[in-house]
Structure 1
Amino acid sequence: MQDKPDLNAEERAVLDWIDTRADGMIDTVKAWSVINSGSRNADGLERMRACLEDAFAELGGETAAVELPPTTVVDPDGTVRQQDFTPSFHCRLRPQAPIRIVMTGHHDTVFPADSHFQSTELWDADTLNGPGVADMKGGILVMLHGLLGLERSPWKDEIGVDVLISPDEEIGSLGSGPVIAELGAGADIGMTYEPALADGSLAGARKGSGNWSLKVSGRAAHAGREHHLGRNALAAACQFGLGLDELNGRREGVTFNLARIDGGGPPNVVPDTAVARFNVRVQTENDRVWVEAELDRLVDEIRVRDGIAADLHGGFTRPPKPMTPANAKMFEWTRAAGSALGLDIRWQDTGGVCEGNNLWAAGCPNVDTLGVRGADIHSDREIVKLSSFAERAKLSALMLMKFARGEFDARQARALARTS
């Protein structure tokens, strides 16, 4: 490695050691990728959590399975039931250290157990295709090796870390959200390991997001003999969906996406149940208030239909994460560490959401795309750039060392967050 004025001998030694682990990271992500850990595949999620227990044992911290509270879901047939989650993985290092950092990630993927996308393929010398290789099993390995680098430094005792790796990020962190909030409230800063873009750019400001299911109930009847006795729940759900779509463009930066309507059956039966599912993205808390008022209005408009009942389930699970001075300071430090490594770190605002939103809601400034460089996530074209494993692990390790030395003042970021 070339000597750089911003790196001392101890830092260079740690970064050189990370280079020796690059091949191992790649072998591990290949092995982890073929474990299907779709958000609803409990067996696969538990297999992955066992892998995390083994991998993070190298840190020597205290590990635990964190039980998550259940949530309520609406099935396609309108049944409202409790949804359980498998546990999160938690690793704690030096809880009494003066600087507290929370590092988050997820071991679930968007690919269900019956997905056709279950294996890896090397597309070229630097490109691996496979489920979760970027989002975010690769990111977990970057996190781990950043921490392993810190453990080899003379400043490790200055930093205490809580690692939380959850099984439900891809479905909104409904179970892990309260745990993330608790850890974020007690930390100075946060570091989250969603993938960067293939060119290395990071996410800046993020919108807030919510998911809902509207259950509509009517009355079944024969469509010919007694059509007048029926109350069409599917028609009412369609009315709601059209009204929802018409809200697009009414407020800058706010989007409504009607994703699915379940309901109906034989054409000679008036459908008595329908379920409309939708997502909303907002830029500000004022947007959220406006959205909730509009949703109440739309639901009231279908409830006035004779014989129709409607119940709304869900809500905003990820508040907006704006580019406040505290979050801007985190990016400033990330860029400085990247510069010392010869990286040009850039970022751009996004409509996507992640655990970084939840950390910010708890008052914890954070950078949330510190994982591998990747592309086409959530599709069978998902790829990771293999050279980014060591590159991004060194970025995290260097940031952690500079936080430990006080060159980056984590408590300054937290103080800025309190005034945002």
Structure 2
Amino acid sequence: MERLTGTERAAIERLDAGAMLSRVERWAAINSGTRNIAGCAAMADALTEAFGVLPGALRLVEPAPAQAVGSDGVVSELAHGRHLHLSVRPDAPVRLLLTGHMDTVYPADHPFQTLTWREPGVLNGPGVADMKGGLALMLEALLAIEAVAPHVGYDVLINSDEETGSFSSAALLAEVARGKAATLTYEPALPDGTLAGARGGTGNFSIVVRGRAAHAGRNPEDGRNAIVAAGALAVRLHAERSPRLAVNPARIDGGGPNNVVPDLAVLRINFRPADADEIARARAAIDAAVTEVAAAHDVAIEVHGGFNRPPKPVDAGAARLFELVRATGADLGQSIGWRDTGGVCDGNNIAACGVPVVDTMGARGGAIHSMEEFLIVDSLAERAALSAVTMLRLASGALA
């Protein structure tokens, strides 16, 4: 702690651990599953009130159009909540971006809706780590910055659809990231504080197969079985997997009565490429498989979807930012390490804009996306301090 400046010490002293925990408890009580539009609206209102105490221009941005393919093969518009954008001191010489998401993976009818204490200091509840804890400490760090150094320039973007791919916010994210010196994203760290380093990418596809119905006993030869064709497509694409490209055929929708040759199937499939070359290989594999299966089974095939999260390597700029965070943690008595992960988040999209990003600046916790999700409460103050001091150092040109 002796290497901290007076301003950095003042920022840390300003942090209020009780206020952060209270925010987490209030916000986790709001169900904001991505598809719960009313819940996301309530969460957006709560965040508007909370972040509205900061200076700058705050707005709720309408979601961009996004589509989904139903089990009937029909493409329809997909509803999303609004996204929060706050811009503070846009003319500052060094500008930062802080991002997070208000949505969770728990829908309105999910049984996981309440908070419980697993043990002293460990809070179990929906979104407590991913990422309402992260949002709470992000705000507290910014309040501390405003109290001691009201010259830092930054944007805050909190979207409503990160958990399902950021389809209605990706363009906004790219727009806001433009020109920023660095980005801090508040996904949870691991329980021991380890950060995510390099990330692979992801692509989700819904492949619609249209065959021809026929009687399964009287004239099956006149039918074109869409389920069989979709299965062949799944097997063909699954064979393309490698250590650098995971391929997961996850579901086939379609079919009907046993005595009818099914004329419709929708294959849901996920790809996890390690780098841009693997994206190109996967796209070529999809094109080849569609052509071959369509011809072999005499069916029509439509491909919907794409690679919505590009791979995130740790390039030179990201390495410098990681080192700054690590050194800042050391000055605070926190041991900060990182490791590569197969998970994806908005950090992938930000890195693709050429902006250095550390995307696990949130609270320490674990078991996310499950009913065992937990937050280590002491980490709220720890990580808020890490954020505040990191931002002060970034604003002073530490990456220049």
The aligned residue for residue 161 of structure 1 is 154
For the Cα contact (< 8 Å) 2:63–2:169, is it kept in 1? Answer: yes
- Cα drift, residue 228 of structure 1: 2.0
| Deviations 1:339-388 (CA, angstroms, capped at 9, x unpaired) | 11100000000111111111111111110000000101111111110001
In structure 1, C-alpha distance between the alignment counterparts of 2:31 and 2:375, rounded to whole Å: 17
- Cα drift, residue 62 of structure 1: 1.2
The aligned residue for residue 28 of structure 1 is 23
In structure 1, C-alpha distance between the alignment counterparts of 2:65 and 2:270, rounded to whole Å: 21
In structure 1, C-alpha distance between the alignment counterparts of 2:234 and 2:121, rounded to whole Å: 44
2:82 maps to a residue whose letter is: P
Alignment of 1:108-127 (within 5 A): 108-127=103-122
1:50 aligns with 2:45: yes
1:352 aligns with 2:349: no
The aligned residue for residue 307 of structure 2 is 316
- Cα drift, residue 68 of structure 1: 2.0
For the Cα contact (< 8 Å) 1:101–1:162, is it kept in 2? Answer: yes
The aligned residue for residue 83 of structure 1 is 78
Alignment of 1:260-275 (within 5 A): 260-275=251-266
TM-score, with structure 2 as normaliser: 0.98
- Cα drift, residue 287 of structure 1: 1.2
For the Cα contact (< 8 Å) 2:83–2:160, is it kept in 1? Answer: yes
The aligned residue for residue 193 of structure 1 is 186
Secondary structure, aligned partner of 2:123: strand
Moved more, 297-306 or 141-150: 297-306
For the Cα contact (< 8 Å) 1:105–1:193, is it kept in 2? Answer: yes
The aligned residue for residue 387 of structure 2 is 396
The aligned residue for residue 211 of structure 1 is 204
In structure 2, C-alpha distance between the alignment counterparts of 1:123 and 1:405, rounded to whole Å: 41
For the Cα contact (< 8 Å) 2:35–2:79, is it kept in 1? Answer: no
In structure 2, C-alpha distance between the alignment counterparts of 1:405 and 1:396, rounded to whole Å: 14
Alignment of 1:299-378 (within 5 A): 299-378=290-369
In structure 2, C-alpha distance between the alignment counterparts of 1:299 and 1:204, rounded to whole Å: 35
1:342 maps to a residue whose letter is: G
| Deviations 1:270-320 (CA, angstroms, capped at 9, x unpaired) | 111111111111111111111100111111112113541110100101111
Secondary structure, aligned partner of 2:154: strand
In structure 2, C-alpha distance between the alignment counterparts of 1:390 and 1:59, rounded to whole Å: 19
In structure 1, C-alpha distance between the alignment counterparts of 2:284 and 2:330, rounded to whole Å: 46
1:10 aligns with 2:3: no
1:128 pairs with 118, 123, 136, which one?
A: 123
The aligned residue for residue 228 of structure 1 is 221
1:69 aligns with 2:59: no
In structure 1, C-alpha distance between the alignment counterparts of 2:154 and 2:55, rounded to whole Å: 12
1:256 pairs with 239, 247, 261, which one?
A: 247
For the Cα contact (< 8 Å) 2:95–2:395, is it kept in 1? Answer: no
In structure 2, C-alpha distance between the alignment counterparts of 1:145 and 1:83, rounded to whole Å: 33
User: What count of residue pairs does the alignment treat as equivalent?
Assistant: 400
TM-score, with structure 1 as normaliser: 0.93
CA RMSD of aligned residues (A): 1.1
In structure 2, C-alpha distance between the alignment counterparts of 1:217 and 1:277, rounded to whole Å: 15
**Which residues of structure 1 form unaligned runs of 5+?**
413-420
In structure 2, C-alpha distance between the alignment counterparts of 1:299 and 1:380, rounded to whole Å: 38
2:272 pairs with 278, 281, 294, which one?
A: 281
Secondary structure, aligned partner of 2:111: coil
**Which residues of structure 2 form unaligned runs of 5+?**
none
In structure 1, C-alpha distance between the alignment counterparts of 2:110 and 2:12, rounded to whole Å: 38
2:208 maps to a residue whose letter is: K
Segments ≥4 residues shifted beyond 2 Å = none
For the Cα contact (< 8 Å) 2:209–2:299, is it kept in 1? Answer: yes
- Cα drift, residue 129 of structure 1: 0.7
1:152 aligns with 2:143: no
In structure 2, C-alpha distance between the alignment counterparts of 1:263 and 1:329, rounded to whole Å: 50
2:11 maps to a residue whose letter is: V
For the Cα contact (< 8 Å) 1:61–1:93, is it kept in 2? Answer: yes
